[in-house]
């Protein structure tokens, strides 16, 4: 699988959130490289923990901005964040049980979810918050 490079089309035009999204993409690239090199047993659980911690921080930033500015789809967006954390937590449990072929499944899920979430869900708040002067 090819490395995911940041593209301008991923931008939500909010500097803090774009930088966080870039960091998440890079974290996923590191995870993907470890899996492809067969180093997943050494790095996968640590990478998932780092990803979960950073996702919590990022989701909090997004949710705070949405709440402060009265974003109408706040609850739905927050629910997607919660679903993501539950799914990743489930992967972590399965990983601890030693399920085979799980590392690739995790990377595929994380990359697909992140890019879809940015390009679809996050783009929805982008225009709303930009109209409120958030950059």
Which 3 state secondary structure label does DSSP give 13?
Answer: coil
pLDDT score of 73 more than 80: yes
Which tens digit of pLDDT belongs to each residue from 31-51?
Answer: 888 888 877 665 677 777 788
Mean of the per-residue pLDDT values of the chain = 88
Which tens digit of pLDDT belongs to each residue from 77-118?
Answer: 999 999 999 998 888 888 778 777 677 888 889 889 999 999
Q: How does residue 68 score in pLDDT terms, banded at 50, 70 and 90?
A: very high
Please work out, in degrees rounded to the nearest 5, the angle formed at the alpha carbon of residue 83 by the alpha carbons of 81 and 86.
110
- Architecture in CATH for domain 45-135: Up-down Bundle (1.20)
Listed by start position, the domains of the chain span 45-135
51-55 contact pairs (CB < 8 A, 24+): 51/24, 51/27, 51/88, 51/110, 52/85, 52/88, 52/89, 52/92, 54/20, 54/23, 54/24, 54/27, 55/24, 55/81, 55/84, 55/85, 55/88
Structure confidence at residue 35 (pLDDT): 82
């Amino acid at each position: 699988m090819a490395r995911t490079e940041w593209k301008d089309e991923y931008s939500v035009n909010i500097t803090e959130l774009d930088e966080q999204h870039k960091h998440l993409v890079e974290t996923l690239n590191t995870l993907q490289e470890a899996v492809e090199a067969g180093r997943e047993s050494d790095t996968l659980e640590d990478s998932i923990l780092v990803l979960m911690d950073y996702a919590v921080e990022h989701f909090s930033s997004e949710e705070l901005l949405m709440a402060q500015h009265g974003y109408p789809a706040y609850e739905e967006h927050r629910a997607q964040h919660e679903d993501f954390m539950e799914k990743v937590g489930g992967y972590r449990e399965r990983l601890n049980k030693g399920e085979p072929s799980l590392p690739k499944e995790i990377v595929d899920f994380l990359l697909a979810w992140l890019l879809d979430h940015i390009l679809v869900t996050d783009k929805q708040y982008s225009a709303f918050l930009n109209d409120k002067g958030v950059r």
